[in-house]
Structure 1
Amino acid sequence: MRQITLSNGKTVEVECLSCAITSGVIEPDGGVIVETEHFHAHQDVAYPIKGLIILASKRHIFSFDELTEEEKLDYIHLLTKLRKAQREVLGIEYVYYFYNEDTTHHFHTWMVPRYDWMGDFGRSVESLRPVLLHARKERNTKEMVEDVLEGIRALAKAFNESSI
């Protein structure tokens, strides 16, 4: 079991955070954006950045080559719809996609939006870690968290109304 501190300050003890979230044991702040038979999309629970989506496999796997054909199709279809929603609903112009196989959690893709305030940290993948840490430490105010929650609600609404 590992102890993990969420962006809301709560600490959870789980073997796999992704499994706990996709199975409903832990509800991410703001709830689920959208889920399919194979995947679960939610706001990242560690970093309060509006529109920072985690697309996680419901099955406990670690890499692309473990996806079934059906999961591959579901993944790319949902990833595309999520990106469209980020652009149309939240006005996010640019996104970094990040996926790593040496994680302590299972297969998931981070969809990290780029905002103007992030420019101080650079414009490359190397800027992501400092951006994330800055968001957790300096942008975790009540107002900013409410903005993140509003983003989650707006994205979920777009998917529920099938406008995406």
Structure 2
Amino acid sequence: MRSITLSTGKTVEVECLSCALTSGLVKPDGGAVIETNHFHAHQDVAYPIKGLIILASKRHIKSFDELTDEEKLDYINTITKIRKAQREVLGIEHVYYFYNEDTTHHFHTWMVPRYEWMNEFGRSVESVRPVLLHARHKMNNHENIRVVLEATKKLKIALTSF
């Protein structure tokens, strides 16, 4: 078991956070923005950044080459829909995508939006970790959480119409 601290400060004990989220054992604030047969997408539970979406496989796998053909199609279609909603509903112009295979969770992709306030940390992949830590430590307040949850709600509504 691992201890995971959520953006709300709440700590959960899980073996795999992705499994806990996709199965409903741990509910992300705002719930799933979209769920398909193979994937579950939600606002990141650790970093309160508006529109930071995690797209996780429901099946406990580690890498792209483990996806079935059906899962591959579902993945690209779902991530494309989410990106369209981020742009159209939240006005997010740029997104950094991250996927790694040495994670303690299973297959998931981070869709990290870029906002003007992030420029003070730089404009490269190296800036992402300081941005995330800034959000966790400096933006974890009621007003920002309200903004994040409102954005999550907007994405969820938009994704039901695509």
TM > 0.5 fold call: yes
C-alpha deviation, 1:144, in angstroms: 0.5
Aligned to 1:157: 157
Aligned to 1:110: 110
SS at match of 1:46: coil
User: TM-score if structure 1 supplies the norm length?
Assistant: 0.98
- Tell me which amino acid in the other structure corresponds to 2:112: V
C-alpha deviation, 1:159, in angstroms: 1.8
Aligned to 1:99: 99
C-alpha deviation, 1:158, in angstroms: 1.0
Aligned to 2:19: 19
1:47-75, Cα deviation, whole Å (9 max, x unpaired): 00000000000000000000000000000
- Tell me which amino acid in the other structure corresponds to 2:22: T
SS at match of 2:79: helix
2:2 paired with 1:7: no
Distance 1:116 1:132 in 2: 14
Paired-residue identity, %: 76
- Tell me which amino acid in the other structure corresponds to 2:94: Y
Distance 1:9 1:123 in 2: 28
Aligned to 1:73: 73
Distance 2:30 2:23 in 1: 16
Distance 2:79 2:32 in 1: 15
SS at match of 1:156: helix
SS at match of 1:158: helix
User: TM-score if structure 2 supplies the norm length?
Assistant: 0.99
C-alpha deviation, 1:141, in angstroms: 1.2
SS at match of 2:72: helix
- Tell me which amino acid in the other structure corresponds to 2:11: T
Structure 2: stretches of 5+ with no match in the other structure:
none
SS at match of 2:100: coil
Distance 2:115 2:159 in 1: 23
- Tell me which amino acid in the other structure corresponds to 1:7: S
Structure 1: stretches of 5+ with no match in the other structure:
none
- Tell me which amino acid in the other structure corresponds to 1:59: R
